[in-house]
């Protein structure tokens, strides 16, 4: 679980760089992620807000791996991100293969790793009270 914590911290740092791009340099976000479409400043800010939220979840989860609600919320953020990138690449065609691969791998590996470690997390207080 220690390695998962380090991984989540690394992902949080990577996400924070994308957060900065959305507010300061839209061209980097376009080249690095949505290479097949034009981005508006609004889209950049929306992407940044989502990315800051998920970076926060990664950071909080890395420091609290035994909290099932936080763990589940973080794991679901990876599932949502993966679904988003799959739709953007296959349906909306806003990403190239090169810009799709990295976020897709990070989201998939993270979600799968967290799913496989779900049984190692401590149960939540709500879950425990229902069992009693």
For residue 6, which of 121, 102, 110 has the smallest C-alpha distance?
A: 110
The DSSP result for 50-97, as a single string, is HHHHHHHHHHHHHH-TT-HHHHHHHHHHHHHHHHHHHIIIIIS--S-H
Per-residue pLDDT of 4-52, as tens digits, reads 999 999 999 999 998 999 999 999 999 999 999 999 999 999 999 999 9
Query: Is the per-residue pLDDT at 128 higher than 90?
Result: no
pTM of the predicted structure, to 2 decimals = 0.89
Percent of the chain with pLDDT over 70: 92
Pick from 14, 6, 43: which is nearest to 107 by CA? 14
């Amino acid at each position: 679980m220690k390695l998962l914590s380090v991984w989540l911290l690394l992902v949080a740092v990577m996400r924070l760089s994308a957060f900065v791009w959305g507010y300061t340099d839209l061209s980097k976000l376009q080249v690095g992620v949505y290479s097949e479409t034009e981005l508006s400043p609004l889209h950049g800010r929306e992407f940044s807000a989502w990315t800051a939220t998920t970076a926060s979840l990664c950071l909080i989860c890395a420091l609290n791996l035994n909290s099932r609600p936080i763990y589940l919320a973080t794991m679901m953020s990876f599932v949502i991100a993966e679904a988003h990138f799959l739709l953007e690449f296959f349906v909306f065609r806003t990403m190239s293969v090169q810009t799709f691969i990295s976020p897709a791998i990070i989201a998939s590996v993270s979600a799968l790793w967290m799913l496989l470690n779900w049984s190692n997390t401590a149960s939540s207080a709500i879950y425990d009270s229902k069992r009693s």
